[in-house]
Every structure is written in structure tokens, then in C-alpha cells.
A and B are shown apart, each in its own frame.
Chain A
């Protein structure tokens, strides 16, 4: 029996290749995702574990802000380091200062591109055992005017020891001499970030830390464990400080970073699932066809005395062999995908150094997934084959009995109802936070419902759309239509692959178009100023820019805008901090009560939704706590209609500073003086902005364009990944058609014998493919619209206020779907046309 199985495998090399492709792609996606995720993980774990100290001390946060860079932290007083040094078991303790917003300028005055990763400035820790970096050249910075650069940045900017460099800092610009170059972490990698080291006093000056520290690093003596030392240090420093072992710090930072990058992992995993989902259709299809084609061969085996179990097993063994081969190739393909992803993320500034990580888990999962999915997909047709009575299969005109679609209809209807309830639920949900999750669940149910129902709908669809075909393409058209209707399960399964891909492309297309329209609406409705000055990615920058702009004659008003996280009456919110005096000149807020005057003193403006939810009215007092632990009593001075530019809460710059917010602007809105020529005004502003290469000047349209560019970039990333799922879909169609052509060899022979030309035959195959791909596209577009609209609605609170359906693009997708059919049909059509008439007729 085994010999029969293996012979059959080798006898059908082509079929083998076709089915293997599906498995390879599915596994490649899974393996690629896992390899990439592991590599990400390794990079960052290495980064954090390079922390040399055993115990670290930092000021305790007022609350868990969750988002980095928005919360000011309290400095740790210098005398604390002295006290820690006195603790038994402490070998060394040293304070350090660290802040973001320090950028290195290249020789031609441009900011060294970190691609969105932070530019970090820090004090050099003098104790070599505690030091973060390891000097590879020169020495450590010892006085003002000296810096050490991380090796990556130094190499990229072309600096070496002895060069003069200029740095942008949150404070003034700094000119300094490079005295050293150091590596950081295991691979010298900073994941794209740049790190500049100063001597302690300079770092304290630059970051405004006074004589305090950002934190204190503690080295344990040999006879004490980290945990013991942590407890002893904690006892000494008292309340208000976080004391953590190196491991705790690394874990916490990794966790925070992983959370930040979780969307990537989630996205990739989602694609892996889709790829497998789609891939298993193809495998199922392939095996159904393989088995159908071999039904006579299998029946012969049955007639010769093979048991049902043996027949089932022989098919399953075939599947297992195929699964192992496919998984192996898929694993190799996964390396390709991971390499591509690494390059892609590199262009976004997230540089991953070192080799790709292949963990045992990846290998195990790849094989498990490849083999198990293949076995499962082969199980159904294998059982069906075993159940075929030998006599029926041996008969000349054996036609597989068509099974009822009733169960599918019922399952599909139930799923569809569930999806509808969930999606409607997400639209009317009180708590907006759960809406996106509900949409996710609803969308999954909807796609599954569509998968279950699509065979039911395939026939009516093929009949309806196919009604045009005989008119357009005569007999070729009619045969194509009939063939597409012949096995609705197969048609539907093949179309499903494309459907899933197009559902997502369409859904994200709607979301992206809506996001872009929302940007336009925001610019039109909320921005009032003539120009906006900001960095491309919303990084903070020095308030010096705003100060210098205020000094220009051409400028009438300057509005600084910062963002901060603050707890109001026990609940954390995102707050905008603005110039109270110029708020109304730079931004349009529609006040329902109170006005911008309400910001005076310790005033706070809140939007309608927040006011209603919290029951606040003008004149109420709320308790504010900053992430750094500072407290203030704020008075509600006004309520405004929801506004995307400022979010739900607005305070004045003074209040923000009192709460310990860092003096770094995110946006500076500039209003030109009346009567100023636009060109002259722009030139004047440009002359200031020029000297701060991190920031750029944008008029309203340019600002909108920049915001939309970010949306488009994310869409591009998503679509690039989806292209891969479309590739799988194309291969699925190729696979199905190639199988159908093989299966219909005798029909093709007959058609050719009675006078169908090769061209007509090619056209028949092509039209069938187009019918299938258009069916998948139409389903995908429909589902995608539902998904996109639900998602957009669910994200309304996140700023996607407009709903736009990109009609032109959707039509484009449909045309693309049809083209995919034509492309996918090319090879099977040629195969069909090349068949020798006599061979085809003679095939028994």
C-alpha cells in the first residue's frame, strides 16, 4: 500500500508542485512572521539587558501614563545617590541624566535621520562597570564642549574623534568636539535611535534637571543578590521612588516596547492566519481534485481488497509527505519574507541589526502548521474517496455525488446574523473603547459567514453574470459559465482566497480614505493659522523656535501647542497645552459655554463629550495629577464642541509647566500680520525655521498633505502585506484551473475533436477564471465595505470623523480582480490548448 502511495505521488509531479505551492506560501507567512518577531524581540531584549547596573532607582510616576514622551518626570535628588552608596552591599552607585530631543547635525547642517526613532542625550556614566556604552575610540566626555557619539550615528554622519559637531537639544544648540565613540548593547544597535553622551554637568544643564538625576544606577557587591539589594535600597530611599532590579527594568522596558510594537506583531499574525486560511482552501481544493481524479485508481485498490482505512491512509500519507516538503520550503520562504520585512522596517527607521533569529518554536510551528493543515485539508476528500463504492468509481460515467449545501446555508446564516449583531452593536456601543474590538470579531464572523455561504451564492452569481458571456463570447462564454457553475464549492473556495484579500484591501481603503478626509476636515474646521511649524512625526522640539518667530514683524501671533498626559479627578486624559492668549487666533474652537479666557490662572477647557461624561460645568473644580506626581486644582473655564486638533482637554502652557510638563513644543501655529505679503511672510518664517532642521514650515495644504502622507504610508505597508495574500489567491486560481483542465482532459479532447480551436479553448479557460475572480472580488468588495464602514465608525473617537467610500478605487479593485483572473488563467489555458487531441481522447 505504501509503495502504491509513493508511486502515485511521484507519478504526479505537477500536481505535487501545485499543491506544495499553497502549503509553502502559508507556512512561509507563518515562519516569516515568527522569525521577524523573534528578531525584533532579540534586538530589544539585547538593548535593554545591556543595562550594566544591578539595581536602578527612578522617581515613581504619579500614575501609569502609558505613553512615553508625554509625561514630565521628577528628578531624583543628588543626595539620594550619596545615601545609597552607604547601603551595605552597594559596590557603586551613580546618578545619570537622560532626555529625548537631542539630535546630531550632519556636516551639511541637516539633522541626522533617525527615521522617527528618538534622539537621546545622556550623561556618560564614569564607572566602567555601570556604563551603558563601551568606548571603541577616544575617551569619555569630561567637560562642557565634549561629547561621545554612538558608533552607528558616528558612522552614518561620518564623524570621528576630533571632529567638531553641532547638536540640537531641547535647550540651546550645542557645539562640541567628539572625544569618543562607543557601542551600545550587544550588537552596537540602538534600533535606529541615536545616543549622544555628555559629561554629567552639561547633561544636567541641557535637560533642565538642575543638580538632580533622571535615575541612579547601583552595582551590587559580590555577596548580595540583586533582589536583596533592591529591598535594602528601597528601604533607604523611602516612598516616591521605583527601585527595580536590572531584570525587572529590562522586562518592563521590553514589555512596554513590545506593547508599542504589538500592532506589528498582531498585523503579521493576522496575515499569517489569513495566509493559512487561504492556503488551506487551496490545499483542500487540490486534494479534492487529486482524489476525484484518482477515484478510479482508488476504487481499483478497493476492489483488489484494500480497506477503507487503507485508502484513507494512503491519501493522508501523501498529504503528510507533501506537508513536510511544503513546510520545509515554506520555512526557507519565511526567511525571505522576514528579510523583506526587515528591509521594509529599516526604511521606516527601525533598524534591526544582527542575523535573523530562527527559534525552535518557529521550526516546530512551521512543520506543525504545514503538516496539520495539509492533513486536515486532505482528510475530507480522503474519507470521501474511501466511501466511494468500488463499482461506482470503476464505472465509465462515474460522477461524484453532489452533497447538499443545506448545512452550509444554515451555518452561514447563523454566522451572518452573529456578524450583523456584533457590527450593529459596535456602532451603537456606549463605550467607544470596545468598538474596534467588536468590529474585529464581527468582521471575522462576517468573513466566515461569507466563506460558508459563498458556494450557495456561486451558482446564481455565475448564472447572472454568466448570462452576458454567451452573448460576448459565444460558445466559449457559455462553456466557461457552465464550468464555473459545475462545482460551486470549488468555485467558491477558489474565489474565497481573493475575497479575503480584497475584503481587507477594501476595508483599509475605506478607512484610509476616511482618515484622509478627516484630516482635510480638521484642517478646514479647526486650523485657523496661516502656517504650522512641526516635525514630520510629531516629535517634540525646542520652544526657541516659537520665541524667535514671535520676534518677527511679519508675524501677528504664535500659538504653541504641546501634549501631555494628566489625571483629572482620577481618570487619565490626553490634554493639549496651549498659549491662552493666542488660542483663538491659531485654532477654531466652538465654545458651548465659557471661552478661551477660562484658561487663565489654573483654568481648563473640556470638550462636550468629556463634560457630559464627567458632569462638569463651567466653574467646577477638578483635581489634576501629573505623571511626575505634581498636583493642582483646576477650574473648568469653558466647554467646547468636539475638536480633533486639541482633543478632549485644554490647559494653558503655564499650568502644564506647573504640572511638570517638559518645555517642548509639538506644534507651533503661526498667524501672519495683516497686510503682510504671503511670500514675504513665508520667507521670514522660513529664515527662522531653516536653522532648526528637525522642524519644517507648512501652510495649511502642506500640513494636511503631511498628515495624509502618514496615513498613506501605513496603508502602503498594509497593502504591501496584502499583496502577498493576493499572490496566494492568484496561485489558488491557477491551481484550481490547472486541476480543472487536467480533470476535463477528455472533454477538452472532445471539444478539440469536434472543432474548437486552441484560441477558443484558451478563451473558455480564461473566462472561467475571470468569472471566479470577479466573484471573489465582488464578495470581497462587499464585505470590505461593511468592514471599512464599521471600522471607520468605531474609530470616530480616535479622530476619524468623516466617512468616505473611495468609489474609483473600488472600481479599480474590481477591474484588478478580473485581470487577476486573466493572469491566473494564462498558464492553465495554454496547457489546455496544447493538449494533443488524440491523447486527450484516449485518456481513460
Chain B
């Protein structure tokens, strides 16, 4: 009788070993993959409470940061310091509604890698810095704030570009929303109102699409999908027209910094391979006339030139548009404005409104010039 009992023990022993091997597979080898699985309910839970890196403007103004959650010890909550001004660019990181904008495009950089995954433990042992990284954008806070203020509650968009590099200096879309309301209490109610609104506050009118799809992980924008008559489409083509057809790829991310504020990587300007739609912009550019800019003074004559009009956009909606460049020779800024309606829900496309918004942005840039000159 002892023979069969011994064989049963042997088989059970082998089964125990198989289980240990299988557990090692699931808990060590496949663990990282399972932790990232979008169906894993922990993915959303950990994301909402984890510390994320800061998002800064080009002039080092903090736009988004993680602060300790007073309601949940050890957890963090995301804070968007200028709310609706950067809503479409910075976007938001929500446990319930996903990520948008830069928060989505750079989710893996902004996330803390300080956790108990196998790779996390190994990297920590190797001395890697696992703290979340911060991202500096190409937007200038003063320019962005001016653009948002000038556009007000009109339905439209503003984009300012550095024509020499393709850096996006300002990008505003209206109507906007407050991303803070999507990470706080009542977020579900706010989300429902935003998604059901006929004004489309979540749409980024500056690129006539949503940022996550157009913004690549390198921080550049894929122009081939961009509506040529969106504010960014106009700005980049006018910028090309002013430089004999050399179109720079527009980008939003200036660089990535680690927790000790030393630079990890930076985005280099890059010319576009194709410059479609450039001829049309060239003729409009040729018809430009001087634009009176409020910020001009004795020292800085109003050298801005620009053009405006009313056109049917790609989306089938007529828009009043304006573009202006400053200075007229070797410009440092191209501003494009699109206004679909001159007020919330009322008024038609307005060329005058577009022009006045554009002039205000140009004036703000001229005011800023002594303190901050964009490199490149």
C-alpha cells in the first residue's frame, strides 16, 4: 500500500512545483503587463491618487501640478492653476474620463514610476530616478492669457507660432471648460454637461480636432490631419509663406525635466516634408496690409502686417479669420484667429472680432519682447 501512496505524494509535489512556477509567471513576469491592462480596475484607481509631474509654460509658470489630497492621506490630486485658459492644451487626467491633451500625450513621462512592479523595484535598486518628470511647454503665459481674455466668450480659436521654429506660443479655443471641475467632486455631472453641450466646449477649435490624436508622443503635431482652415492651419501656412515655403512642424513641448530640474530631453525644430496648401496662403500673404497694433510705440513702430476675411471652413461652418505677423521682415510671431460667432450662441462669423483679437495678441507679444526672446 505504501507504493501507491508514495506515487500520489510525488504527483502532488510536482503539482505544487507547477503552481509555484505559474505564480512566479503571473506575479513577476506578466505582472507589469497585467498592471497596465486597461481592463484592470486598479489602473484607474492608482492613476487618480498618484503624484504626477508638473506642466510648465515656456516662461516657467506652473500650469498643472499634483498636491496632497486633504481628503485622502497619501494620495494626490491634480490642480490646474489657470483652469479654462489652458484647458485644451494641457488637458486633464481623470480617473473617470481618461486623459486629454498633454496629460494624455505624455502620460508615461508624467507618471511616477515609484511603485512595486518588478521593473520598478529593479530600477530602484539600480539607482534610477523614479520620481515623476515635468514637462515644459512652448506656450508663453502672458500671450496665452491675453489670447484667452481677448477671445472672451466668442466661439473661435487663437494660435500664435514662432515661424522660424514651429513653436506654438499660444493656443486658445473657446468655449472652454475648467479642467479642475473634472477631477473634483461632481465630476460626472460636469462631464455630462460638457459632452452634451451643443457648443462643444471639449473640442479644440485651434486644430479642429482633439489633441490626443494630433499630438504625438514627441510633442509635435501631425499636420496632415489638421484642418487647413483651423487657426493652427492658417498660422503654420502663413509662417511658411513668410519663409519661402519652409514650413516648420508645429510643436508644443519644449523639453522634459526630471525632479531635480535638470533637462532630460528637448524638442528640436524640424521642417515639414510637405507643405500643402502653402500657395493659397502665399497669395493671401501677398495681399497683407499694415496692421495697427496697440502696443506699438516710438521705439517699436507698428511693423505688423496681416489680412482678414470670411471663409467657409473645412467643417462647413463660415468663419471670420485674421492673421498677422510681426515684425513684417524676419517675423518672430505669426498670429492666426478664427471666430465662428461673435458671442455665446449668437452673432455670425466676425472678421472684425478676429482682427481685434489678433491685434491684442500681437500687442502683448510686442510688450513681452524685451524680457523674453524665443530662441531659435
A and B: bona fide binding partners: no
- A positions within 8 Å CB-CB of B: none
